[in-house]
Amino acid sequence: YQIFGYIMQSNPFMQMADEWHTAHIALTQHQPIVSIFGSARLPPTSPEYILATQVAKRLSDEGFSILSGGGPGIMEAANKGAFEGKSQSIGLNIVLPHEQHPNTYQHLSMKFENFASRKATFVRHSMAFIVFAGGFGTLDELFDLITQLQTHKIAPRPIVLVGRSFWGGLLDWFNAQLVAKGLIKISDLNLFTILDNTEDIVQHIIQTSKI
């Protein structure tokens, strides 16, 4: 057993497989799941944090477990809303040199060393994704999702970008550069929806998700 443990620790691929498998067993019990992504740097006083809390609570009361990155900012808001609702609040925490520390609003908290197994867990177990304002990490999660949907590596599922004031400029750039140069099809822009308020977000998730 000691030798096996050493192999697991020294082999990142085996470690990722173990993380994914452990999460798979745990999350299978808490379907349906909606993932919420967003910045770790937005404070509880920010409009995005407040909106994320409201959205998560509404979805939790509708029977959706809420999955977040388990840290501060929007992740905390998502877990807080779910924690106050009727369904499970779940965090997939990642070990980072700064910013990331587990928030206190999690019924189930899992720790990951690897981004790859963590992202695969989000994709495997979520029937919908809600993306609030965020930095490189949030954009990485978003573009990974869009790419997998575009290339039919995963089944269709809703992606909601929250806040036209934040995401609108990116959509304009998609049209002006990617669509105009033929780098993507204009229909690829239908892979996600931009919404602004709690009711529209919740109703979109309910109507487009297969529960």
Identify which of 208, 159, 166 has the alpha carbon closest to the alpha carbon of residue 188.
Answer: 159
Identify which of 94, 99, 92, 39 has the alpha carbon closest to the alpha carbon of residue 66.
Answer: 92
Mean pLDDT of 87-107: 83
Task: Using a pLDDT cut of 90, give the percent of the chain over it.
Answer: 71
Amino acid at 62: E
Mean pLDDT of 88-112: 83
Mean residue pLDDT across the chain: 89
- Write down the pLDDT at residue 7: 45
- Write down the pLDDT at residue 163: 98
Is the pLDDT reported for residue 94 higher than 90? no
If one counts every other C-beta atom within 10 angstroms of the C-beta of residue 178, the result is: 15
**In a 3-state reduction of DSSP, which class is residue 106?**
coil
Identify which of 53, 72, 60, 61 has the alpha carbon closest to the alpha carbon of residue 34.
Answer: 60
* Site of tokens 């937005």: 42
Structural contact between residues 109 and 94, judged by C-beta atoms closer than 8 angstroms: no
C-alpha–C-alpha distance, residues 65 and 56, integer Å: 9
Is the pLDDT reported for residue 102 higher than 70? yes
Model confidence pLDDT, tens digit, residues 36-78: 999 999 999 999 999 999 999 999 999 999 999 999 999 999 9
User: Is residue 1 very low, low, confident or very high in pLDDT (cuts 50, 70, 90)?
Assistant: very low
Is the pLDDT reported for residue 135 higher than 80? yes
- Write down the pLDDT at residue 30: 87
- Write down the pLDDT at residue 28: 78
Lowest mean pLDDT among 51-55, 89-93, 167-171, 201-205: 89-93
Structural contact between residues 37 and 140, judged by C-beta atoms closer than 8 angstroms: no
Structural contact between residues 160 and 193, judged by C-beta atoms closer than 8 angstroms: yes
User: Is residue 178 very low, low, confident or very high in pLDDT (cuts 50, 70, 90)?
Assistant: very high
Structural contact between residues 99 and 40, judged by C-beta atoms closer than 8 angstroms: yes
